[in-house]
Amino acid sequence: MSGEKKIITISREFGSGGRLIGKRLAEKLDIPYYDKELLDRIAEESGFCKEMIEGAEMKAKNSFLYSLASAMGTGEAGPESLSLNERFFLAQFDVIKKIADEGSCVIVGRCADYILRDVPEATNVFIYAEEEDKIKRAVEDYGVPADAVKKLMKDTDKARANYYSYHTGRKWGEPVNYHIAIDSGYIEIEDIVDLIIKYTDVKLYK
């Protein structure tokens, strides 16, 4: 689908460099990039405060408590009876749909692969790596202290998996949820970017 609208969603393990890949993809294709930028849009269009949105995923660290909080409404009738987690996810859902309607873009995280699963122009990418490669990147490139990296990596990916699973009913990181999955430890970032662009050029509409 060369020359057509390209929507690329990036799901990524902590330390895999997925965010950087998303950024470079957007730069190279000269299309908007949404990561933290997404939070601004959601805040703007939903009225939720940015800090609350930012923390939404990490609140899913404990899947039981997250499910419980999500299941509990406010006690009022109508859409108000949805929990804060649910209402926030719906706001995010609407904004991601709208962004994809507007034109080509790269979206990192936030269940965008699931939200855009029926959009033919969407290419869903999963970026992962072996543990030692992720640790190296997190310490050297992200500046995470060496003694904290393993726990932060585990907690972050666990929260992502729980959040994804709760809202989509699917398993985060399972190949079938993505069109292509790449280990970032065996190939330069620029080469991954080129490979993904090549993929989007030949992807079939379905």
Measured in degrees and rounded to the nearest 5, phi and psi for residue 29 equal: -90, -5
Give phi and psi for 123, each to the nearest 5: -115, 120
Would you give the DSSP letter of residue 192? Answer: H
Q: Which residue's CB is nearer to its own copies, number 53 or number 182?
A: 182
Which helix (H) or strand (E) element contains residue 102? helix 84-102
Residue 37 vs 194, nearer CB to its own copies = 194
In the bound complex, what is the minimum distance in angstroms from residue 157's beta carbon to its own copies? 12
> What does the alpha-carbon distance between residue 112 and residue 106 come to, in Å, rounded to a whole number?
10
Q: Is 11 left (phi over 0), alpha (psi -120 to 50) or beta?
A: beta
Q: Does 169 bind its own copies (CB under 8 A)?
A: no
Q: Please report whether residue 203 would count as binding its own copies according to CB under 8 A.
A: yes
Binding to its own copies (CB under 8 A): which residues in 119-148? 126, 128-130
Tokens at residue 55, please?
A: 């923390």
**Which of 82, 119, 180, 189 forms a contact with its own copies (CB under 8 A)?**
180
112: contact with its own copies by CB under 8 A: no
Contacting positions for its own copies (CB under 8 A): 126, 128-130, 173, 175-176, 178-183, 185-188, 191, 194-195, 198-199, 202-204, 206
